[in-house]
């Protein structure tokens, strides 16, 4: 099969296309023909030698998100039979990733593709939506009357987080650039703060939950967020290594704090599918690249101005 490979850590130009053996499934695993693969910040971190790079064996195939077609099921009577359109998340680095024509994934890592989404749209969903669901619904328990501040609301995880929080009744305050103000309101934010023009702590307060998708890698956003939380409020931080003193600072400020790390979860993805099919939630794909242009796709991601998701299309055999 054709795959985008890396032989070691580096910048985006370390990618090269190569022909490798397709994956062999074990026990309850599926083989899926990849039609499209989503790109996420963790992919770029891992490629550069951070993220989960410590667990990689080189040469390596990156990519967590996929949408495609089942070519082999774990057993003959499985409801997701060959020919079924599915989407899901690969557990990189335990398994080779989705920047390839085929992936092998456990049955708990995928779900039926939403009928109203193209493969390109569906490939932009799994990791970002599962992360947003975990932070907003499972951890923060989004509910009516809760005031939730979501940083980087227009990004891959952020645009799902805004929608999930709104769906469950929270009052959403989102930060974003000036060009995304109206769009964030369309997604469900009740208030939008332009971080390029004002400091969010001067515009809001009495926040019950902060969904921190930035940490302290930009203008100490994480540390500044502690000042807007109510006593005993909750801050949930996702970007790995973005705020080394996170837990200590939160304890000093008298607020609750937790990091969050996403895992493949086909059951939750099926729930998200129903929200996508009912159009209560939508995915926005900003840019689409061919697998052969994966380096350009990573450079676009690292430029930091993506609205929603970047997706790769994967050629057939």
Q: Note the pLDDT of residue 198.
A: 94
Q: Note the pLDDT of residue 305.
A: 86
Domains assigned to the chain: 2-125+283-313 (3.90.180.10), 128-259 (3.40.50.720)
Using a pLDDT cut of 70, give the percent of the chain over it. Answer: 100
What sign does the CA torsion over 186, 187, 193, 197 have?
negative
pLDDT digits (tens, 9 = 90+) for 230-262: 999 999 999 888 999 999 999 999 999 999 999
Residue 97 has phi, psi (to 5 degrees) of -85, -170
Res. 304: pLDDT tops 90: no
Strands 60-61 and 2-6, how do they pair? antiparallel
pLDDT digits (tens, 9 = 90+) for 177-228: 999 999 999 999 999 999 999 999 999 999 999 999 999 998 999 999 999 9
Share the mean pLDDT of the chain.
96
Predicted TM-score of the model (pTM)? 0.97
**Contact assessment for residue 90 and residue 61, using Cβ atoms and an 8 Å cutoff:** no
Distance from chain centroid for Cα 5: 21
Res. 104: pLDDT tops 90: yes
Task: Using CB atoms within 10 Å of the CB of residue 251, give its burial: 0 to 12 exposed, 13 to 18 middle, 19+ buried.
Answer: exposed
pLDDT digits (tens, 9 = 90+) for 153-183: 999 999 999 999 999 999 999 999 999 999 9
Q: What are the percentages of helix, strand and coil residues in the chain, rounded to 5?
A: 30, 30, 40
Distance from chain centroid for Cα 256: 24
> Which secondary structure element, helix H or strand E, spans residue 174, and what is its range?
strand 171-176
pLDDT digits (tens, 9 = 90+) for 46-56: 999 998 988 99
Residue 278 has phi, psi (to 5 degrees) of -85, -5
Q: Note the pLDDT of residue 306.
A: 92
H-helix segments, the chain: 41-47, 119-123, 126-133, 156-167, 181-187, 200-203, 221-225, 246-253, 266-277, 294-302
Q: Note the pLDDT of residue 317.
A: 64
């Amino acid at each position: 099969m054709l795959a985008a490979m890396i032989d070691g850590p580096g910048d985006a130009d370390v990618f090269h296309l190569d022909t490798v053996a397709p994956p062999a499934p074990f026990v309850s695993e599926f083989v899926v023909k990849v039609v499209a693969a989503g790109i996420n910040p963790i992919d770029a971190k891992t490629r550069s030698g951070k993220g989960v790079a410590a667990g990689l064996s080189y040469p390596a195939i990156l990519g967590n998100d996929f949408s495609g077609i089942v070519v082999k099921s774990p057993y003959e009577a499985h409801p997701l039979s060959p020919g079924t359109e599915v989407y899901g998340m690969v557990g990189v680095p335990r398994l080779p990733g989705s920047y390839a024509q085929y992936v092998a994934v456990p049955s708990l890592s995928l779900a039926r593709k939403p009928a109203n989404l193209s493969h390109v749209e569906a490939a932009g969903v799994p990791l970002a939506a599962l992360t947003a669901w975990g932070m907003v619904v499972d951890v923060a328990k989004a509910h009516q009357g809760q005031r939730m501040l979501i940083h980087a609301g227009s990004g891959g995880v952020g645009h799902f987080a805004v929608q999930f929080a709104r769906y469950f009744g929270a009052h959403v305050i989102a930060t974003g650039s000036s060009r995304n103000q109206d769009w964030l309101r369309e997604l469900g934010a009740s208030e939008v703060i332009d971080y390029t023009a004002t400091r969010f702590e001067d515009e809001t307060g009495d926040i019950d939950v902060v969904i921190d998708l930035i940490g302290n890698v930009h203008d100490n956003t994480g540390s500044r967020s502690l000042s807007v939380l109510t006593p005993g409020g909750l801050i949930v931080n996702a970007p790995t290594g973005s705020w080394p003193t996170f837990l200590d600072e939160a304890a000093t400020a008298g607020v609750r704090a937790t990091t969050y790390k996403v895992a493949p979860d086909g059951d939750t993805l099926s729930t998200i599918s129903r929200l996508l099919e009912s159009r209560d939630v939508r995915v926005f794909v900003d840019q689409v690249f061919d697998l052969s242009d994966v380096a350009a796709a990573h450079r676009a991601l690292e430029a930091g101005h993506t609205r929603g998701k970047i997706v790769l299309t994967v050629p057939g055999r």
